[in-house]
Amino acid sequence: MVSVEVNKGGVKQGSGSPLKFYILVALATLTGLGASYLFSTGSFLYGTVLLVLFLTLFVTESLLISSRFHLIAAVVLNSVAFAIPFAKLFSLFFLGGFIILVLFLINGAYSGRREMDNMVKIHFTRLVRVISRSMITAVVVFLSVVIILNNNFSASRASINRLVDITTPIISRFVNGFSGGANTGELLKSITEKELSGDKNFIALSVRDRRTVVENQANELKLKIEELTGITIDSGASIRENAYEMINTKLSSLTPKAQIYWSMVLIAVLWLSIQSVEFLIYLPLAVLVFLVYELLFAMKFITMQMEMRSKEVISLR
């Protein structure tokens, strides 16, 4: 079994293990702190790199610390460090996210440790998968809470622009000429003209009359959309600009109860999205954990021990 010399009674004195324990926990804690700090300052690329390193060290920490007390203490310390850069957002909602972070990380660490204790031969892929289920949930939920609180239930123009650009290929299949930069008024006219193109009476009209009919019908379509959404549409603005105004107006009008409801929906969507590509996360993570294990083994930071175990077996007499 791979382990830092920490037993159920505590850290063994005089063996060097206490120092190893503190180093291991400190590395995981500092990388977690660094990752969240970078996220809080908007450095998402470097923050993501440190987050991956934090998750790797967290899994390693979970597998190497055998004492339940020390493992829980380490996880709580990791969680506090990960949350500190976002302390300015403190609220009941933030506290709820933090509690979920702590509980799920503890569950992931304990589940991984228990799984390894039941193994005869260590399988890193299986262990990482067991730990990552709770670990990823913890991080996704907490960061989702942070994102919601940090934006104060509003969306930045850049975020809306990205959303429009992402959905453009889908919408353009049904609405010809749709794009984020398209003029809203012209797009409405284009939609109206296409709808009327099959009308014989419309085709029989003069060019000027057709233009007048299109403008009137497009204006009626605009009024219907405004009535449906409760938002005033600027015909002279682009789709992106109108989408920005529409989304932020809707978000700002949400009641506190509705904000909580939609927050839960957003968190659920993000969590399901991450879970759907979970295998793309835990496989590379398993490789990184294995590399860290090999490095620690080469540095004689950890040792390989063989255990003789007895096992209860039920059989017919």
Q: In whole angstroms, give the CA distance from residue 134 to residue 105.
A: 6
Q: Same domain for 161 and 148?
A: no
Per-residue pLDDT, 315: 44
Q: How far apart are the first and last CA of the chain?
A: 34
202 and 109, same structural domain?
Answer: no
**Alpha carbons 282 and 199: distance in angstroms, whole number:** 57
Do the domain assignments include residue 138? yes
CA separation for the pair 182, 238 (Å, rounded): 5
Q: Does 180 fall in a domain?
A: yes
Instruction: Examine the domain organization and report whether 15 and 136 are in the same domain.
Output: yes
Q: Mark whether 199 and 167 lie in a shared domain.
A: yes
Residue 95 included in any domain:
yes
Same domain flag for 137 and 182:
no
> Is 187 found in the same domain as 99?
no
**What residue type is 168 in one-letter code?**
T
Domain range for 185 is 157-252
pLDDT tens by residue, the chain, 317 residues? 444 433 333 333 333 478 888 899 999 999 999 999 998 888 888 998 999 999 999 999 998 888 889 999 999 999 999 999 999 988 888 999 999 999 999 999 999 988 887 877 777 788 888 998 899 889 988 988 887 787 666 667 777 787 788 788 878 888 888 888 889 888 888 888 888 887 788 888 888 888 888 888 889 888 888 888 778 888 889 988 988 888 888 777 777 667 667 777 777 776 776 666 677 777 888 889 889 888 888 888 877 766 666 655 554 55
* Contact assessment for residue 137 and residue 281, using Cβ atoms and an 8 Å cutoff: no
User: Which pTM value belongs to this model?
Assistant: 0.64
pLDDT of residue 28: 95
Same domain? 45 vs 147: yes
Q: Does 190 fall in a domain?
A: yes
HEC sequence for 119-173: CCCCCHHHHHHHHHHHHHHHHHHHHHHHHHHHHCCCCCHHHHHHHHHHHHHHHCC
Q: In this structure, are 147 and 179 located in the same domain?
A: no
13, 130: one domain: yes
Q: Of the residues 236, 252, 268, which one is the last residue of a structural domain?
A: 252
- Predicted pLDDT of residue 211: 87
Please tell me whether residues 54 and 26 are part of one structural domain.
yes
Residue 103 and residue 227 in one domain: no
Q: How far apart are CA 222 and CA 189, in angstroms?
A: 10
Task: Classify residue 116: in a domain, yes or no.
Answer: yes
Whether residue 149 lies inside any domain: the answer is yes
Cα dihedral: 179, 180, 185, 190 (round 10): 0
Does the residue 257 lie in any domain? no
Whether 196 is covered by a domain: the verdict is: yes
Identify whether residues 35 and 161 lie together within a single domain.
no
DSSP labels, the chain: -EE-SEETTEEPTTSSHHHHHHHHHHHHHHHHHHHHHHHHTT-HHHHHHHHHHHHHHHHHHHHH---HHHHHHHHHHHHHHHHGGGGGG-SHHHHHHHHHHHHHHHHHHHHHHHHHHT-SS--HHHHHHHHHHHHHHHHHHHHHHHHHHHHTT---HHHHHHHHHHHHHHHTTTSTT--TTSBHHHHHHHHHHHHHTT-HHHHHS-HHHHHHHHHHHHHHHHHHHHHHH-----TTSBHHHHHHHHHHHHHHT--HHHHHHHHHHHHHHHHHHHHHTTHHHHHHHHHHHHHHHHHHHHTTSSEE-------------
Residues 101, 58: Cα–Cα separation, whole Å: 13
